[in-house]
Amino acid sequence: MGKRRGISFLNFLLNFIIAAIMAGLVIFVYFCFNYGVETTVTEIADNFNLSKIIPSENESTIEIPVVENPLSAAEIVNNSQDLVKRDEAGYYYAQIDENAKIIYDALMSNEVNLRKGNYKIEFGNQFNELLNEENGTESLNSSYQQALDALTLDHPEVFYLDISKMLLMIYSRKTILKTTYTVSIESEENGNYFSDEFKTEEEVNQAVNRVEYIRDNLYNQLEGDTYNKIKDIHDCLVNELEYEQTISKPNIRNIYGALVTKEVVCEGYAKAFKYILDGLDIPNIIVVGTATNSSGVTESHAWSYVLIDDAWYAIDVTWDDPIIVGNGKLPEMEKYRYFLRGSETFNKNHTITGQVSDNGMKFLYPELSELDYVY
């Protein structure tokens, strides 16, 4: 009897030890896969940079109306669905990599939410596999920069954003066996990613409504075929806008500065031209590069390409609106010196670079017609 009790006790002890070991293994495995230290890596994309803008050299009856508050802030013009549809055909969007497209799509599908200034776009672990690869962080940050560069040129209507304030946040959770990454786009802590001129969501909504109202008013003044609409919009901007020479005033690089305050540099001219043509479904793109003015100075510059009659032609609205000293009047022919020009004429003093930001990708452009457009 005593011997059997001893054997039973040994069996019990052995089973207890085995169970304890198994439980310990389960806990260990759980610990390896689920417990770790969270860290954060912040990737800040390069600032959108068209450098210093070239002062330009240089009557339509169409005018840009003066409008204070066409709609209340509560009457938000919700155009996010239109933006999502347009993304598919976005000229710059088509050139970025697949991860950049995911980021770009997320930004545009949240366009109305971005007007809050601190809305957080979360990707979860969507980029986890990439970030676990060698140089994965650098690769994702490159895609992020591509997305911002493309979005800025494809969509001048998001004028209220300062993309240099939009942070790509990479959070990592490390365990013994693996590292898991989650990604989001956010504002700085206790800050926002608005341009400095805008402080609140209400101000942004008012500004969005204002430029859309002005654009719609311009459309009501347009008549004729595609050529005449392009010409009238070009003439309107040349007649109504002033080149801002101090490079110090607010909104000089966006459509708000063009359509509301009417003082911009070349980036503002080109974005306003695109914004208006986009609403008419006239294919066009903003082009970035360098240009050499009549004084022999070469600097960063922005202009437009427009597709008409199945061929691409260049338009430089900025240089068709030169700064006139004194009370001189621009000769009529000078106003169209850079209007619907082919490569043989235009490329004498304009050179494409395709690079929006200092470390961004180089975009490609369609081939211009060799000869100028003839109407």
Domain match, 237 and 347 both: yes
Residue 175 within any structural domain of the chain: yes
- Confidence band for 230, pLDDT divided at 50, 70 and 90: very high
Position 32 pLDDT exceeds 70:
no
Percent of the chain with pLDDT over 70: 76
CB 53 within 8 A of CB 266: yes
Residue 162 within any structural domain of the chain: yes
Per-residue pLDDT averaged across 17-40, rounded? 59
Domain match, 206 and 348 both: yes
Residue 59 within any structural domain of the chain: no
pLDDT in tens, 159-181: 999 999 999 999 999 988 889 99
Q: What tokens were used for 116?
A: 């809050």
- Confidence band for 294, pLDDT divided at 50, 70 and 90: confident
What are the backbone angles phi and psi of residue 296, rounded to the nearest 5°? Answer: 85, 10
Domain match, 265 and 347 both: yes
Per-residue pLDDT averaged across 4-22, rounded? 67
CA dihedral sign, ordered 159, 83, 168, 43: negative
- CATH no. for residue 333? 3.10.620.30
Select the more confidently predicted residue: 14 or 143. 143
Select the more confidently predicted residue: 352 or 44. 352
Residue 146 within any structural domain of the chain: yes
pLDDT in tens, 319-346: 999 865 445 556 666 789 999 999 999 9
Residue 4 within any structural domain of the chain: no
Select the more confidently predicted residue: 345 or 38. 345
Per-residue pLDDT averaged across 207-226, rounded? 96
- At residue 175, the pLDDT reads 85
The mean predicted confidence, pLDDT, of the chain is 83
Q: Nearest-CA neighbor of 142 among 358, 365, 364?
A: 358
pLDDT in tens, 231-289: 999 999 999 999 998 888 999 999 999 999 999 999 999 999 999 999 999 999 999 99
The counts of H helices and E strands in the chain are 11, 10
- Confidence band for 359, pLDDT divided at 50, 70 and 90: confident
Return the exposure string of 182-197: e unless at least 16 CB atoms fall within 10 Å of the residue's CB, then b: bbebbbeeeebbbbeb
Residue 178 within any structural domain of the chain: yes
Residue 51 within any structural domain of the chain: no
Domain match, 260 and 333 both: yes
- Confidence band for 31, pLDDT divided at 50, 70 and 90: low
pLDDT in tens, 136-148: 999 999 999 999 9
Q: Residue 273: left if φ>0, alpha if ψ -120 to 50, beta else—which one?
A: alpha
pLDDT in tens, 59-117: 445 677 665 544 333 343 344 334 333 434 589 999 999 999 999 999 999 999 999 99
| Alpha-carbon dihedral 340, 273, 87, 225, rounded to 10 degrees | -60
Domain match, 219 and 79 both: no
To which residue do tokens 């700085």 refer?
A: 188
Select the more confidently predicted residue: 59 or 306. 306
Domain match, 154 and 286 both: no
Select the more confidently predicted residue: 312 or 43. 312
Domain match, 207 and 125 both: no
Residue 256 within any structural domain of the chain: yes
Domain match, 232 and 150 both: no
Enclosing H/E stretch for 32: helix 2-34
Terminal Cα-to-Cα distance of the chain (whole angstroms)? 115
Domain match, 226 and 342 both: yes
Position 306 pLDDT exceeds 60:
yes
In total, how many domains does the chain have?
Answer: 2
Domain match, 91 and 227 both: no
Q: Is 293 helix (H, G, I), strand (E, B) or coil?
A: coil
What does the alpha-carbon distance between residue 63 and residue 322 come to, in Å, rounded to a whole number? 19
Range of the domain at 88: 35-46+72-186
